[in-house]
C-alpha cells in the first residue's frame, strides 16, 4: 500500500471527476469560517447601522462602543470616511456579509459551487479587504480613533479574503497545473502564517499609533 498524498498536493483533474466540494487548504474549516465570519460581520454591520440611526435621531446619543478616547465608535461614525459612497458604510457590510454567511451555510449543507461563483466571491472579498484597509489607515492616521465593531469587521474580512483566494487558486491549479500548482502548494503549506503576520502588522500599527494612550493604562 502506498502512503497518503500530502494535503498540499493536488490530484490531476480527470474527465467526469467533479471539483472538490470545498477547495482550499482547510476544506473542513472554510465553511465554518464563512459561516461564523459572515455572522459576526453581519451582526457588527447591523449594530453599527442601528447606532448610526440613533445618532441621527439624537446627536447627543453615546454609542455603546464608545469606551474611551481611542476606542470610540461615535468619533468614527460622524466622519466623511464613515459614508464613503454617500450612505453609511455598514449598509455595504450587511449585504456583503449576508452573501458570505449564506455561502458558508450552503457549504455546510453539502452544496457545491462552480469556479465562476468562487471567482465572484473572491472579487467581493478582495473589494472588501481593500476597503477595510482604507478604513484602517483612515482610522489610524486621519480620524485618530478606533471603532470596536469596525475592528470586528476588519478581523473577519482578512481571513475570509485569504482563504477564499486560496480556494480559487486551488481550483485554478487543478485545471492548469505547472506554476499555479507549485504556487498553491507553497501557500497552502504556510497558509496560517500569512494570516498571523497580517494580524500582527495591523495590531502593531494600532499599538504604535496610540502608544501614548495605551502606555497610560499600564
Fold (CATH) for 30-217: de novo design (two linked rop proteins) (1.20.1440)
C-alpha of 37 from chain center: 7
Q: Which of 38-42, 141-145, 174-178 has the lowest mean pLDDT?
A: 174-178
Contact call for residues 48 and 56 (beta carbons, < 8 A): no
Per-domain boundaries in the chain:
30-217
Read off the pLDDT of each residue in 69-98 and give the average, rounded to a whole number: 93
Give residue 18's pLDDT.
Answer: 56
DSSP letter, residue 87: S
Integer angstrom CA distances of residue 101 from 10, 32, 50, 73, 153? 27, 9, 20, 25, 13
Give residue 65's pLDDT.
Answer: 87
For the four alpha carbons of 181, 186, 190 and 195, in that order, the dihedral sign comes to negative
Amino acid at each position: 500500500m502506498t502512503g497518503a498524498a500530502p494535503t498540499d498536493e493536488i490530484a490531476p483533474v480527470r474527465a467526469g471527476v467533479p471539483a472538490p466540494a470545498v477547495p482550499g487548504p482547510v476544506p473542513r474549516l472554510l465553511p465554518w469560517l464563512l459561516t461564523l465570519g459572515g455572522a459576526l460581520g453581519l451582526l457588527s454591520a447591523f449594530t453599527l447601522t442601528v447606532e448610526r440611526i440613533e445618532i441621527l435621531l439624537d446627536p447627543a446619543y453615546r454609542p455603546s462602543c464608545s469606551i474611551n478616547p481611542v476606542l470610540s465608535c461615535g468619533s468614527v461614525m460622524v466622519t466623511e470616511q464613515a459614508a464613503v459612497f454617500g450612505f453609511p458604510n455598514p449598509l455595504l457590510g450587511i449585504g456583503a456579509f449576508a452573501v458570505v454567511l449564506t455561502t458558508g451555510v450552503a457549504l455546510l449543507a453539502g452544496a457545491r459551487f462552480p469556479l465562476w461563483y468562487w471567482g465572484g466571491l473572491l472579487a467581493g472579498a478582495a473589494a472588501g479587504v481593500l476597503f477595510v484597509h482604507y478604513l484602517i489607515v483612515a482610522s489610524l492616521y486621519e480620524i485618530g480613533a478606533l471603532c470596536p465593531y469596525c475592528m470586528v469587521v476588519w478581523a473577519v474580512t482578512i481571513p475570509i479574503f485569504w482563504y477564499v483566494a486560496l480556494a480559487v487558486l486551488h481550483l485554478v491549479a487543478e485545471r492548469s497545473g505547472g506554476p499555479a500548482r507549485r504556487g498553491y502548494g507553497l501557500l497552502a503549506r504556510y497558509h496560517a502564517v500569512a494570516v498571523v503576520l497580517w494580524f500582527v502588522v495591523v495590531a502593531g500599527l494600532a499599538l504604535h499609533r496610540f502608544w501614548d494612550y495605551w502606555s497610560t493604562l499600564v
